[in-house]
Amino acid sequence: MSAKSYKNLKEVREGLGYRHLETVARQARISAERLRAIEDEGAAPSVYEVGELSRIYGIDADILADEPITLAPGDGVEVLTLRQEFRDVSDIVRTRIVAAANAARDLGSLRKLMGRGDVRNELAAQRPKLKPPVKSDVPHVQGTKLASEFRAKLKLGNEPIPSIRDLILDQFPAITLLYADLTDEGPAGLSFVDPLRGPAIVLNLVGKNQNSLVRRFSLAHELGHMLVDWKGEPLAVISGYLTDYGLAIEQRANSFAVRLLCPRSRFDKIAQKLPSRDALEEIGKFGLPYPAARLYARYTSGKDLAPAPPLDWSVSNDSRWWDAERHLGVDEFPLEGVPPERRTAVAEAAARAYSQGRIGRDRFADLLGTTPVADVEVVLDFFGLDAPARQVA
């Protein structure tokens, strides 16, 4: 893949789809007049301004400081700019997506610092060898077949999967799970696989994902992208909950998730009785949200089921899966002000690097998304790590 180049900072902003200069200026803590002078009048940005724009654009400050501005080959930010769903979201949602991508990028840098090799190679070794989708099959059939084969390869049988979160963490340790506030109107999840970020799934903490059944489905959906849609080239996918963004790959991932959660031998019998209360209780035992089953029925038969199950069923089944799919480490994190996408894997990797004297305290704070005056040592305690024997300048 050839690297993407921009002539100047204005081209970068427009290339990333930011509609309003004022939004970028506000998020970057630069006045709109100053940013306009930089973009239109050739004013030289300060080191601080380049750093802030780097954060908003998801491009290293060293790269932004040069003209032309050339992205690293295979950078997932470049892949994002090619996706219509990224260009369709609001500027605020776009900044949240980029912030999550930045966290994954920083984690990739920490892994390299700690001597870990290309994590994409680890994922390639961990993924079961599934048959490529048959091109003549419609997407939902492709997803159905892939989920059945995946269940068989991992010997999951026909019983409910106790936790999709734990399935990913245990079977695919190369995949990093991150959690971010992508806003109520933002996507359900993101998937990245590129040289800078490695394999990373980012799940939206708010919106429909606050329901643990939906969160479970979203995790299964993103896992489908990792298993099927990554073919060696950089991958960046934005997934809306039960939307057909990306058409074929989203329909396939939706169907994969449905069939992963509830195998064919069980689902087909249950589906014939939907939306009866007995059928709703049956899919609830598998942790499958009813709207997902409803969409799948539309894919397979064109049948439009009733739009929602009874409220009491939804609430009771949600509680069964709360602990199973909970976002571990986010709510318990000891330091306020740290963005959620940096509270788990990024924080732990940064804490280890700081504890071992590989990075200084200021860099540790920067990786946490806070300032050096914050009590970053509590993060060492949180992960059971010692303070560094010596401070790195």
For the stretch 139-197, pLDDT in tens is: 999 999 999 999 999 999 999 999 999 999 999 999 999 999 999 999 999 999 998 88
pLDDT at 342: 98
Q: What number of other Cβ atoms are within 10 A of residue 32's Cβ? A: 14
pLDDT at 131: 93
Where, residue-wise, is CATH 1.10.10.2910 in the chain?
Answer: 112-260
Structure token pair of residue 358: 């590989």
pLDDT at 108: 93
pLDDT at 246: 60
112-260: CATH architecture: Orthogonal Bundle (1.10)
Q: Residue 265 in 3-state DSSP?
A: helix
pLDDT at 81: 78
CA distance 179 to 74: 23
pLDDT at 106: 94
355-360 contacts, C-beta under 8 A, 24 or more apart = 355/380, 355/385, 355/386, 355/387, 355/388, 356/388, 357/388, 357/389, 357/390, 357/391, 357/392, 358/113, 358/114, 358/392, 359/113, 359/392, 360/391, 360/392, 360/393
Residues 292 and 242 sit within 8 Å (Cβ to Cβ): yes
pLDDT at 48: 93
pLDDT at 245: 63
pLDDT at 198: 86
Where, residue-wise, is CATH 1.10.260.40 in the chain?
Answer: 1-72
Q: Residue 58 in 3-state DSSP?
A: coil
Q: Which stretches in the chain have pLDDT values below 70?
A: 1-3, 242-246, 308-317, 391-393
CA distance 61 to 48: 10
- The pTM is what? 0.91
pLDDT at 315: 59
Buried/exposed code over 40-78 (b: 16+ C-beta within 10 A; e: otherwise): eeeeebeeebbebbbbbbbbbbebbbeeebebbebbbbb
Give whole-number Cα distances, 85 to 81, 116, 120, 178, 239, in Å. 9, 33, 25, 20, 9
Residues 93 and 186 sit within 8 Å (Cβ to Cβ): yes
The 3-state DSSP composition of the chain as helix, strand, coil percent (nearest 5) reads: 55, 5, 40
pLDDT at 19: 86
Residues 217 and 261 sit within 8 Å (Cβ to Cβ): yes
- How far is C-alpha 123 from the chain's CA centre? 16
CATH topology of domain 1-72: 434 Repressor (Amino-terminal Domain) (1.10.260)
CA distance 185 to 191: 18
